[in-house]
Amino acid sequence: MRILPLAARRRPPRPHEEGHAARRVTWNGPLEPAGEGVFEIPASYKGRNGDLEMRVPGRIVCDDVLLPHIQDDEAPEQVANVATLPGIVGAAWAMPDIHWGYGFPIGGVAAFDPDEGGVVSPGGVGFDINCGVRLLRTGLQAEEVRGRLKETIDALFDVVPAGLGGKGGTGVTDRDLDQILEEGAVWAEEQGLLDADDRRRLETHGRVDGARPDLVSERARVRGRRSLGSLGSGNHFLEVQAVEEVWDEDAAKAFGVASGEAVVMIHTGSRGLGHQIAQEHIQALQGRARFGIRLPDRQLACAPLGSREAEEYMAAMAAGANFAFVNRSLVAARAADALERVFGAGRPTVVYDVCHNIAKMEEHVVEGRRKLLCVHRKGATRAFGPDHPELPQAFAGVGQPVLVPGDMGRQSFLLAGRGTGPGSRAEGPFASCCHGAGRRMSRTEAKRGVSGGSVVQELWDRQGILVRATSPKVAAEEAPQAYKDVGQVVGAVERAGLAARVARVRPLGVVKG
């Protein structure tokens, strides 16, 4: 495997409008308090006027402060739509960073029982399969990095490709690509991009089983070869951060972070390869009438679990997820090279790596019985509690690390998962948590109302945060005011019992696509 050299400076690619613009129609449907930190859309909401009935209620993790933001667009209607799908159990859930998405809302969580006609829906995973976050400990002190900040961020910007169409510069053969799609981070470990201890700190150890490279089209492969080892655009980033405050010393020690240290957070996914897989399977399922499933929204196109279509999507999705683990491993390796050149320090090591957009077969308790369910998390993070058997021994008694990025002007959080959430029955969101702050302005709105150049300058002048973006428009799209306050979002999931705060980090410098 060859990592090809990159030009010292890249020509910024043209910006684009990533995803779907927020629907600025205030939602006036029912949202009733349903326990600590949870509001409910009753199952009786739909089924009137001839529309499809909800099979379960919709539940949104939220508080009174965030409620107006959540009602700002029609994402709650998408929660209600998901609740109409066959075989759904418990409730259709959404996290407090919810906003409008494709079919499912971003921030949506839903579980389907294959024994009850449950389905898999590519819209419940999203286009960027296994978009996720990796956190690295650098072994450096934050003040040491701050003293050489411009040199550090310039070095990272030079070696980590970013932006729409950003090319990874990684030469992989067809055989390499097949191994990447099937083995994920196992391949990365064999290439020396990370070691065995690091790989154990990736969700599912960096490999989703059941992947079939033969189901990944040539078009997806071409897009994957072009983008492997790159950040991408939109909200994807590489951020050098300072651990500013630690609340749980025992958990922080288990995770390997301490106050005053510098860490690196990487947010990217499967890039064009995952997008192509999603697009092809959504289009194929939208053309299938044989299942006879009525849908309130064609973007919820789905297939019954166990059907050929469902199995092929799950196998292709697993291949996309494995690609994303390798993509983050390559970005991390390039970041490590840059930090070594600047500081002469040892290689960074992995704190944890979490998926945001994925569907997995997991065991959960439903109405007192343990069931194997297909859990969709779209813009939501797995948050297994202490002593879950799938977690590394290092996290025993602590819980899974949950990485929650904010925006480039405010804090991010490291949490510890608490498991199911309110109680241990099906009313909990299947060991899930928020994945970030969540947008409160669409990218179009942000670009219309914010100057990217001003955002970058103000972050430097007022907070000493150095931002390198591939274009001023990208900086405008990602302005702090375009996002909810991640502190409020984290407070909501903590009150709901989904996760507990371990540490807060703040940005020192940011590379944006």
Distance CA 497, CA 416 (A): 11
Distance CA 453, CA 127 (A): 30
Residue owning tokens 């510098």: 262
Cβ atoms of 438 and 96 within 8 Å: the answer is yes
Distance CA 67, CA 73 (A): 11
3-state secondary structure 300-349: HCCEECCCHHHHHHHHHHHHHHHHHHHHHHHHHHHHHHHHHHHHCCCCCE
User: Please, what is the end-to-end C-alpha distance for the chain in angstroms?
Assistant: 25
Tokens at residue 329, please?
């491993």
Instruction: Give the pairing type, strands 466-469 and 499-512.
Output: parallel
Residue 325 amino acid letter: F
Catalytic residue among 99, 236, 281, 435: 435
Residue 8 amino acid letter: A
The SS3 of residue 227 is helix
Residue 451, burial from CB neighbour count under 10 angstroms (0-12, 13-18, 19+): middle
Distance CA 484, CA 17 (A): 19
Cβ atoms of 353 and 132 within 8 Å: the answer is yes
Cβ atoms of 385 and 244 within 8 Å: the answer is no
Has 99 been annotated as catalytic? no
Q: How many CB atoms lie within 10 A of CB 454?
A: 13
Angle CA(95)–CA(274)–CA(440) in degrees, nearest 5?
35
Residue owning tokens 């991408």: 232
Residue owning tokens 């129609």: 25
3-state secondary structure 147-200: CCHHHHHHHHHHHCCCCCCCCCCEECCHHHHHHHHHHCHHHHHHCCCCCHHHHH
Distance (Å) of CA 445 to CA 72, 396, 473, 481: 14, 44, 12, 11
Q: Which amino acids are annotated catalytic?
A: 435
